[in-house]
A and B are shown apart, each in its own frame.
Chain A
């Protein structure tokens, strides 16, 4: 675990302030050591990996592998707090216009080359040019490297949330060797600084990572935490095998060909629990199951109609169908274990009151026109949730019809400005809620690819709360702004978060210290012989 004083650094601004006062000192307690070393762990991954270029891919399947290879300046810990990774610390100027990162010493890339600030500059240059979330750097005036161990970011304007954005693991700014800065998009050579290095990548089949013997753990910590901390590769190698078929993953786990799997279907969970050779590991709060109304089109532009639908919804039934009973009821857009969680707006959640729904419906002036629920069959939870939502809406007198497409089509339809093709769009939010309130609520700030109010003009009150979330100087004020925004969004029925889905992972019993997280982490994991 981190030293006690670091635990107080929940907020990025606090972290910077602490670092300004005193650099993070080495950990006091004995750091993690591998009880046993060796072995090849074969992990059954459910989705294909197109590329391992972590700067230009937002897919989970890429992150699963790449986040064991690459590291960033700052990242997130187990509780989603910002922590240093390749940076020893960061100093924020009083005017918040300069961030000075001191780099950890003795770090080398998998090609053996020592990491310096020149590599950090090159990494930021590449990200600014082709990084998928290069908007993170929109407010950055520039960066430089005054010496080989220092990297400085100059801001255009003060941005209190900058470190939070910089530490995002959605499409992180990973640090690569300077010589790879001109690698084209999706073709970044897999050379990082992480505890595992790439040995073999056969697209569509597998990726094999082996221990990087020269890896230097971060001595500011004692244990792995989140994506950072004190990381050690106990395993000789980790092979990510692409096993898209759920039954095949279960069979592989049963036979011991796979020592871990990313996801097992609900129908197999009980059998796996009874198997003494397998440890079942539920990963709670994997994503928020959600539907978004089209506020640019009648009658979902009408608040009373949206509230009628909200009053009709029974979340237990929707989540049960969506997840095969692997869910938690959850108000809003953060999970209860997160520091920014709030139940603001809870009175709008899981109302399930047909009489109230019919009252609102009457007030809305609904005339029985067809209401189209846009969903897809690529993601079974979205389709099943839409089916139950349709039935619940029909039960209160709404002529609800499903419009089923594939996922890319439904995304494209949902993104059209002033679209009249749909009324409710079903989705699932995974990474952003895990990243925190700021990352999540950008979905509901106009214009977002997923939120297209009429003429892209968002609700003024919601927009004001969003602005406060980004600009208020203290974390407390920003959290309050988030609570206000969540309450507004729920009260105005601008989104219907149904609950959170639990993903069930599993490993062979001999695999130790594998703790489910946003991506499977293999540092500090060992296998009993």
Chain B
């Protein structure tokens, strides 16, 4: 298992190299000048040129690339043009915010999605099934931005139960974090929960029709054991794949939610960086986020082996 994990991690290196190269190249290919963004409209061409030189942006592409890779080899991802701080430090300030929010949303997704999917499968073609699938359809169809706005109007403005926005770190005040993160997490989770509910339902239905389930029932095993031990365990394999994808979607979907609820996460940071052509921030930030997602996917792969003894890596 360990050697498999190490092999998978080693295979991630070319992926990260490719991502870094694409990001670096893309940022230079798109028009827009960070020096002009910093200098403002009233700057003279000389001032813009001076800032460009200060930032080393007037150097050839390969020189800039070489310097960036050279820095990376020493653990230096560069310095944000707009903030003046180290890219790694800024990313590590913001990434935990998004991760905490995404984790909360993931828990909600799993609870709502799995429950709705399992119940719908067990009560196929009943009112419960139709209700669960209608709920899933709403979750998939309603944009998270609109849902977030609706929740703000209802739960913050009308009922006054939750704050309209803002963020309190989990480490500072767990209850405050819970209160400020609940609406964002729900608005993020519902789309994914709808998706997961539909997949769980169809997977469960397929498994429940298998011979071994019929055998288990014929043996007189309790329904709970049949469903959770025999059916769900087998259904979890394709569901795990989907959960891996959902984690990526939650991270990318957080961009919109963070803006709406004024949460200082990585999504807003990278969006701002792209809009202002903060090259080092985009390059380094995306590389770190990519590295995290690669690790998540390696973890998911490892989970297959744990869940399904038939899967043999060694």
Which residues from chain A sit less than 8 Å from chain B, CB to CB? 48, 50-51, 53, 56-59, 132-133, 135, 170-171, 184-187, 202-206, 241-245, 247-248, 251-252, 254-255, 257-258, 378, 405-409, 411-413, 415, 427, 429, 431-432, 439, 442-443, 447-450, 452, 456
Contacts and interface: CB of A to CB of B under 8 A. Distances in A.
Given A48-B268, A406-B275, A248 B260 contact: yes
Contacts of A242: 262, 264
Contact of B262 (A50, A53, A135, A248): A248
B43 interface: yes
A26 to B, nearest CB: 37
B275 A186 contact: no
Given A186-B82, A247-B149, A415-B36, A405 B31 contact: yes
B164 A412 contact: no
B31 A244 contact: no
A50 B39 contact: no
Contact of A408 (B149, B261, B275): B275
Contacts of A132: 38-40, 43, 47
22 contacts: A50-B272, A51-B82, A51-B83, A53-B84, A56-B38, A56-B84, A132-B39, A133-B43, A135-B47, A205-B264, A248-B165, A248-B260, A251-B164, A255-B157, A257-B164, A407-B275, A408-B32, A409-B31, A411-B37, A415-B33, A448-B45, A449-B44
Contact of A203 (B40, B93, B165, B277): B93
B214 interface: no
A386 B307 CA distance: 59
A186 B84 contact: yes
A413 B44 CA distance: 15
B83 A412 contact: no
B285 to A, nearest CB: 13
A265 to B, nearest CB: 13
Interface in B274-310: 275-277
Nearest to A258: B164
Most chain B beta-carbon contacts within 10 A, residue among A50, A133, A251, A412: A50
Contact of B85 (A133, A187, A202, A378): A187
Contact of B156 (A58, A135, A255): A255
A255 B160 contact: yes
Contacts of A252: 164-165
A56 B35 CA distance: 12
A252 B263 CA distance: 14
A239 to B, nearest CB: 10
B153 interface: yes
B42 A443 contact: yes
A409 B272 contact: no
A388 B48 CA distance: 32
Contacts of A203: 83, 90, 93, 264
A241 B180 CA distance: 14
Residue from B31, B42, B90 with most neighbouring chain A CB atoms (10 Å): B42
A254 B157 contact: yes
Nearest to B85: A187
> Max chain B CB contacts within 10 Å: which of A206, A248, A409, A456?
A248
B18 to A, nearest CB: 26
Interface in B77-101: 80, 82-85, 90, 93-94
A415 B42 contact: no
Instruction: Classify chain B's interface size.
Output: 35 or more
Given A132-B38, A447-B44, A449-B44, A187 B84 contact: yes
Contacts of A57: 38
Contact of A204 (B39, B94, B156, B160): B94
A415 B48 contact: yes
Closest 8 CB pairs of A and B: A186-B84, A204-B264, A408-B32, A58-B40, A205-B264, A50-B82, A409-B31, A187-B84
A205 to B, nearest CB: 4
B166 interface: yes
A246 to B, nearest CB: 10
A52 to B, nearest CB: 10
A432 B42 contact: yes
B84 to A, nearest CB: 3
B39, B84, B167, B269: residue with the most chain A Cβ atoms closer than 10 Å:
B84
Nearest to B36: A411
Contacts of B103: none
Contacts of A58: 38-40, 42
A241 B264 contact: no
B163 interface: yes
B118 interface: no
Nearest to A429: B41
A525 B39 CA distance: 32
B259 interface: yes
Contacts of A59: 40
Interface in B224-251: none
A247 B152 contact: yes
Given A185-B84, A241-B165, A251-B152, 19 more contacts: A51-B84, A53-B84, A57-B38, A58-B38, A204-B265, A205-B262, A206-B166, A242-B264, A245-B165, A248-B261, A255-B163, A408-B37, A411-B41, A412-B31, A429-B41, A439-B42, A442-B42, A443-B42, A448-B42
Contacts of A452: 45
Contacts of A202: 264
Nearest to A242: B262
A449 B275 contact: no
A465 B164 CA distance: 53
B2 interface: no
B112 to A, nearest CB: 25
Interface string B148-160: 0100110011001
B218 interface: no
Contacts of A411: 32-33, 36-37, 41
B179 to A, nearest CB: 12
Contact of B83 (A50, A135, A170, A427): A50
Interface string B36-65: 111111111111100000100000000000
A203 B265 CA distance: 10
B110 to A, nearest CB: 28
Among the interface residues B36, B48, B261, B276, which one has the most CB atoms of the partner chain A within 10 A? Answer: B36
A409 B31 CA distance: 5
Contacts of B160: 255
Contacts of B149: 247
Nearest to A440: B42
A39 to B, nearest CB: 18
A277 to B, nearest CB: 12
A449 B260 contact: no
Given A187-B84, A244-B262, A257-B163, A443 B275 contact: no
Given A255-B156, A408-B275, A450 B261 contact: no
B311 interface: no
Interface centre among B36, B41, B163, B265 (most CB of A within 10 A): B41
B30 interface: yes
Given A48-B268, A449-B41, A449-B44, A408 B84 contact: no
Interface in B93-141: 93-94
Select the residue from A203, A244, A456 with max chain B CB neighbours within 10 A.
Answer: A203
A434 B6 CA distance: 61
Contacts of B46: 135
Contacts of A184: 84
A248 B152 contact: yes
A287 B41 CA distance: 13
Nearest to A443: B42
B212 to A, nearest CB: 52
